[in-house]
Amino acid sequence: MQKLQQLYAGKAKSVFATEDQDYVVLSFRDDTSAFDGERIEQLSRKGEINNKFNAFIMEQLAVAGIPTHFEKLLSANEALVKNMKMIPVECVVRNVASGSLVRRLGVEDGMELNPPVFEFFLKNDALHDPMVNEYHIATFGWATDEQVQRMKALTFEVNQVLKKLFADAGMILVDYKLEFGVFKDEVYLGDEFSPDGCRLWDAETRKKLDKDRFRQGLGGVIEAYEEVAQRIGVPL
């Protein structure tokens, strides 16, 4: 399918039109950002790793019956996906306390959360992605009540699938964010699932294997991403 004009450029991905209005090309770049885009660097191979990682995860979720926007890989750093109207709300699930939850509530870093914590955040870098709730979403028309419930249900289904996938590979899925969109009146999982949008720790050492290595200046970002990919069986 032919890639046409660029429709959108985010912090780490670009979206291009195709000759079929139902599908777009998602292009993963080597850009790596933190702190709502205040810090941006280029990390070689990152776009390719995240593209292949995302494809693998989306395929695993599809097998589990979770509807996703992913169609197929087109190249090392490009994928064909459904052209959805994105819902401007991030769904976050926390299995272990870390990051902003610890800062906000003063709970112990690394504390297991049972049941997991679910949170909504408005996707808006200028406002630093503020936390919102279902009343905000309804009042401002970001999604219908039915869509909100569907997003929540799918997010927890994803948690069941991916917690086991990573646990079987000796890792802890600490937390993650998901984004959803609407395609032909149905809600689908969109955007990406990669170490850019989740926290992953080695189960024994608690070594960080995600973008916190970039945020915290720990180094070895790409090496950590490759390690995660290899441990769960992503073909790189």
**Quick one: how far is CA 153 from the chain centroid?**
16
pLDDT band at 85 (very low <50, low <70, confident <90, very high): very high
Q: Residue 171's CB: how many other CB atoms inside 10 A? A: 22
Give the alpha-carbon dihedral of 209, 215, 216, 218, to 10 degrees.
50
pLDDT tens across 24-75, in order? 999 999 998 777 667 789 999 999 999 999 999 999 999 999 999 999 999 9
CATH superfamily assigned to domain 3-82: Phosphorylase Kinase; domain 1 (3.30.200.20)
Question: Could you confirm whether domain 86-222 is CATH 3.30.470.20?
Answer: yes
Return the domain boundaries, the chain. Answer: 3-82, 86-222
What is the rounded average pLDDT of the residues 144-150?
98
pLDDT tens across 192-226, in order? 999 999 999 999 999 999 999 999 999 999 999 99
pLDDT tens across 150-170, in order? 999 999 999 999 999 999 999
Which H or E run includes 165? helix 145-168
Nearest to 55 by CA among 28, 31, 19, 88: 28
